[in-house]
Structure 1
Amino acid sequence: MKMPPKTFPALATLAVFCLLTPCLEAGSLRETSAVRAVRRIAPSVVNISSEKTVSTENVLYSNRPGQKVSGMGTGLVVDRRGYIVTNHHVVAGVDWLRATLSDGSLHEARVVSFDRKADLAIIKIDVQRPLPEMPLGTSSDLMLAETVFAVGNAYGYKDTVTCGIISALHREVEVNEKQTYHNLIQTDASINPGNSGGPLINLEGDVVGINVAIRAGAQRIGFAIPIDDARRVIAKLIAVDRLNGTWHGIETRDDKKGQRRRLLVTGTTENSPAASSGLKNGDIILNSDKQPVIDAADFERSLLDRKAGSPIQLTIIRAGKRSTLTLVLGDSDKIWRAFGMRLQVIKSRELQKRHGNDVLEHYEGGLRVTNIRKDGLAYSNGIRQGDDLVGLHEWAMVNRENVDWVLDHRELREFSPVKFWVLREGKTLFGHLPVTSNAR
């Protein structure tokens, strides 16, 4: 019996569906959680190249120029404006630094801050568009034998992915007399030269560590800095009083355990913008100008590029209730806050040119008053713009750290006001400056 022609289209459709089904199933099987995890992290991974000059220590060739040595490493985008975290040893002492983004674009980079002991550094590139930031995980709930992946510029082969497990936690690793790492993650995911500064990620594609070291002579023994530890260091490296010239005076602690990630206020600096805002110990900061905040690094990022005097709206939880406070950023210059003057280091030769040869017998240098606030203590006690500050209390003033030292020592308030010496038109003048709690 012949089948009616009208049934052929239905059979043809069924046949095509049957043919396609194995392909669809094969594709879905291939796109595993591992593939999705690596795809998620890839846009925020940065390949770093560098060159440094290594001195040639050979008495026969003492005038020979140093040898040029190429370097490589990996970084992670921590802020869309071009801030990238990597290991300090990747960028230490380099002559130049370049960063290649996931789209293949090459950028000149510069080191903006670092912590040698923690072996972390922040480098900065200039960008025309926002960069994809790393997907942030937590190292607070890592499990032994948990699957992880290392991504990086291994031996210069960019975006190399290796797979392994969490082999151990809380490892202490001494590299040399000057460098010891604490609380490291141990993994058997292959970490090679060039991986330093790159991410260790979990099956979700979240960063749980920053790859840092391998065990020389051993196979499949690598180490990473837990991301929660790294984020605390990153917060200090991108702190606005360090990079932005502003100041808030909030003391905080990251509170992370599994899915609980929040920023706790542990105190405020006396006479600081934070104290004026009404923040209190125990407050939880949820948002900063509508930007979500889960740790101190997030909070500092939210304040980058904001100027002194800028009002910041903070959403907090206090005693279980949500409320909003206004934080007005201050100036990070302690000397400006305390005395109302800005200082610039000058050498002894400059003092000599300006005030005569006799000054060399008494002063090794000084600090020039480049700006002064008329309602500040310096002006009201006789210091003027253009004066050269050469002494404060019992010490010579040859750099800003000398003044900071005086301001940071509370016991000197017992001597307040302290004596100062300035040079003006070749004459040495003196007066007295109060050292108050505003100096903090």
Structure 2
Amino acid sequence: MGSRPAFIDDLARVPSDDHSAGEIAFDHDDALLDAYSRTVIGALERVQQAVVFVSVERARPGDNTRRGGTGSGFLFTPDGYLLTNSHVVHGATAIRITLADGATHEASLVGDDPSTDLAVLRIGSAEPLPHAELGESAKLRVGQIAIAVGNPLGLAHTVTTGVVSALGRSLRSASGRMIYDVIQTDAALNPGNSGGPLVNSRGQVIGVNTAIIPGAQAICFATAIDTAKWVIMQLFAHGRVRRAYIGVAGTAVPIARKSQRYFALETASGVRVIEVVKGSPAALGGLRVDDTIVAIDGAPVDGVDALQRVLDASRIDRTVEITVLRLTQKLTLRVTPVEPADARSA
């Protein structure tokens, strides 16, 4: 038959007192596992003391009894401000926070935003409190380590690990509004994880754990921390999130380089319009399905999150110029955003 395959010859020449190939591979895998473990442990050491247990009471309609609920949250300032999910605390008559050291505090609601499923609470403390560092979700890459910390099913400070499975997902909130730029992860979440942090390998918070797909295998979602930062500033300023509404739904899409050069665009992506609400400011201003929004008042719009940030309270009832790509043209449309009726009545 001919000579044996080269890899068998190479193994046959290994001296008997050396490690076998199997032992070498085992040692290598063991070293990788240790490195992974050290990464997870290091991240937890930076964030774990900031994670809290949230318990609430709500009045039952029609009687004087109370019903309880629990979730997770995390401190993001040393003076007692913390983030959690809106659905954890919305409508609560009492909110109690249990810190990592077992201390309990009554919390006040600074504000909540059902449209992004986020809420900011405040507790008082005479001493600076351990708090988490907020990262940047815009810099995330699919496949990087994701670590979830929370209180699933009342099991305090449970840790699960996985990766960032996908970016830019959309998720419909309890209010019916779409939450855009949602992070998908396979770090396992369960009831009670809601409001807890999703962190990267540096222990920086990259998302707020929000939802799962029931019956699926580890398909879990977190509101991106860049969205949370914007919501925090709105709640600090107004006690609620004020938004300018134009009446479109869209998705982020890349823009071909030749189009970028031809139209002298400042962004490599934009928001393709997939729906225009009849009678909305966008419809009245001439936006159409399949238009790609690339700027508002000259500010580049490279994704849905950017579009939502640009359409802040300062643009309510003020005409703005929306730059769109339509087929082979770049057009400027004039649209007057309004504040949604449900927000005005809130």
* TM-score normalised by length of structure 2: 0.57
Q: Is the 8 A contact 2:115 2:173 kept in 1?
A: no
**The residue matched to 2:107 in structure 1 has which SS?**
strand
Unaligned runs of 5+ in 2: 1-30, 241-315, 319-346
* 2:261 aligned partner: none
Quick one: which of 60, 71, 74 aligns to 1:73?
71
Give how far 1:175 is off: 5.0
For the pair 1:88 / 2:94, whether they are aligned, the reply is no
Give how far 1:242 is off: 5.1
Q: Cα 1:100–1:66, aligned 2, differ >3 Å: closer, same or farther?
A: same
Q: Cα 1:41–1:409, aligned 2, differ >3 Å: closer, same or farther?
A: closer
* 2:42 aligned partner: 36
Distance 2:161 2:194 in 1: 16
Give how far 1:119 is off: 1.6
Number of residue pairs matched by the alignment:
211
Quick one: which of 43, 54, 62 aligns to 1:48?
54
Distance 2:111 2:157 in 1: 25
Question: Identity rate of aligned residues, in percent?
Answer: 41
* 1:185 aligned partner: 183
* 1:338 aligned partner: none
* 1:224 aligned partner: 222
Residue type at the aligned position of 1:143: R
Q: Is the 8 A contact 2:211 2:221 kept in 1?
A: yes
* 1:120 aligned partner: 118
CA deviation map 1:251-299 (0-9, x unaligned): xxxxxxxxxxxxxxxxxxxxxxxxxxxxxxxxxxxxxxxxxxxxxxxxx
Residue type at the aligned position of 2:56: S
Give how far 1:128 is off: 1.0
* 2:142 aligned partner: 144
Instruction: Select the structure of larger CA radius of gyration.
Output: 1
Distance 1:189 1:111 in 2: 29
**The residue matched to 1:238 in structure 2 has which SS?**
helix
Summarize the alignment of residues 17-416 of structure 1 with structure 2, pairs less than 5 Å apart: 32-55=38-61, 65=63, 67-174=65-172, 178-239=176-237
Distance 2:317 2:169 in 1: 37
* 1:294 aligned partner: none
**Counting strand residues as a fraction of each chain, which structure ranks higher?**
1
Give how far 1:29 is off: 6.8
Q: Cα 1:173–1:73, aligned 2, differ >3 Å: closer, same or farther?
A: same
**The residue matched to 1:136 in structure 2 has which SS?**
coil
Runs of 4+ with deviation above 4 angstroms? 28-31
Distance 1:135 1:203 in 2: 12
Distance 2:223 2:77 in 1: 19
Residue type at the aligned position of 1:42: Q
* 2:303 aligned partner: none
Q: Cα 1:164–1:409, aligned 2, differ >3 Å: closer, same or farther?
A: closer
Give how far 1:204 is off: 1.1
* 1:404 aligned partner: none
Give how far 1:125 is off: 0.9
Give how far 1:85 is off: 1.2
**The residue matched to 2:218 in structure 1 has which SS?**
coil
* 2:304 aligned partner: none
Distance 2:87 2:239 in 1: 21
Residue type at the aligned position of 1:185: I
* 1:359 aligned partner: none
Unaligned runs of 5+ in 1: 1-24, 57-64, 244-407, 411-440
**The residue matched to 2:157 in structure 1 has which SS?**
strand
Residue type at the aligned position of 1:170: G
Q: Cα 1:32–1:180, aligned 2, differ >3 Å: closer, same or farther?
A: same
Give how far 1:229 is off: 1.3
Distance 1:222 1:409 in 2: 37
Q: Cα 1:203–1:242, aligned 2, differ >3 Å: closer, same or farther?
A: same
Residue type at the aligned position of 2:117: D
Give how far 1:67 is off: 5.0
**The residue matched to 1:37 in structure 2 has which SS?**
helix
Give how far 1:40 is off: 1.0
Q: Is the 8 A contact 2:83 2:118 kept in 1?
A: yes
Distance 2:37 2:169 in 1: 34
Aligned CA RMSD, in angstroms, stands at: 2.4
Distance 1:409 1:45 in 2: 40
Distance 2:107 2:175 in 1: 30
* 2:311 aligned partner: none
Give how far 1:35 is off: 0.7
Distance 1:233 1:180 in 2: 15
